[in-house]
Structure 1
């Protein structure tokens, strides 16, 4: 499975999870410090929906992107799924993977967006009582990406300190723990 296919897999899962978010759970806590479910959902939509397509096109984010409440619209989950389809399609163009995006190699930007999709998708799934399901190859890439970028993300407060997990934990659980989240978080 190539990287684009793994981005598509994680995008499908993010769309499935957002479709399962009940409006009455938007104020619930999440495993992601500083985010309730509404804030987490809005962050996910902003950066992995709209932002992912804009990055592929090398266009700037709108000034208000980080402050929009996408969840105020009753159709937000469906619109997010449609935006994810456009975003994934934008990254299907081989030319997008060439050069730099915002002074970062294009594949590094893709990795950052992939981490957002997977880890915040997992956060949202846990916060709303859903399972997080990605293909084994996607989980392997997630673990490798977290391992590669964990130090830098910790430096910028994007990840917490690693959480201990039992031996034999799966790739997703291990990646989540390395990112500073409790893979067994229950609310």
Structure 2
């Protein structure tokens, strides 16, 4: 079975996200601020878990997300971290099917190539993973190769995302900034943000 060349990056991004989730302290206040000014910690974690694990699998299978999932407060389950990791594994398995990468995915009336959707979800896993880590006092480990892929995807989509307020303006960085910091900054995130 020929797995798409982006699949290993998707799998690595889910592994990074699972590690971030596992490190979120049990007692962290869910109304605490995050780098995403529209979201407190509860809203951010729920958005991240919904779209990067359940949404990731549903996109591969060309299925609608059920309303029950959209409305669920994942953080209400003490075991949400391990449930998220298990759901990430199911999503990665769904994208291991070559058919998942073919054709388009319908995003509410606008078809987007499946490869583009997978690349956007790699970004969601990593960028919102950083948001969650920063908001909860954790760390995120993104290796150089994965950081390069993230930077490439950010730069490809930044103009479009800014039109829809998905990204803020680029944050200025020193010339010797790391690849990962450059990806964060290009998405409108300040790599030095602190809660």
Shorter-normalised TM range = over 0.9
1:7-156 matches, cutoff 5 A: 7-25=10-28, 26-102=30-106, 103-156=111-164
2:105 & 2:172 partners in 1: Cα distance?
35
Residue range with higher mean Cα deviation, 58-67 or 41-50: 58-67
TM-score by length of 2: 0.92
Contact 2:144 2:180 in 1 (8 A): no
Q: For residues 123-179 of structure 1, what are the alpha-carbon distances to aligned partners after superposition, in whole Å with 9 as ceiling and x for unaligned?
A: 111111111112221110000000000001010111011111111111111111111
Aligned CA RMSD, in angstroms, stands at 1.3
SS at match of 1:101: strand
Unaligned 5+ segments in structure 1 are none
Q: For residues 53-87 of structure 1, what are the alpha-carbon distances to aligned partners after superposition, in whole Å with 9 as ceiling and x for unaligned?
A: 00000001112433321000011110000000000
SS at match of 2:38: coil
Partner of 2:187: 179
TM-score by length of 1: 0.96
Contact 1:37 1:127 in 2 (8 A): yes
Contact 1:150 1:178 in 2 (8 A): yes
Q: Which runs of 4+ in 1 moved over 4 A?
A: none
Q: For residues 12-56 of structure 1, what are the alpha-carbon distances to aligned partners after superposition, in whole Å with 9 as ceiling and x for unaligned?
A: 111111111123222221111211111111111100010100000
Residue range with higher mean Cα deviation, 17-26 or 161-170: 17-26
SS at match of 2:27: helix
- Aligned residue among 150, 175, 178 for 1:167: 175
Residue range with higher mean Cα deviation, 1-10 or 140-149: 1-10
Unaligned 5+ segments in structure 2 are none
1:7 & 1:134 partners in 2: Cα distance?
12
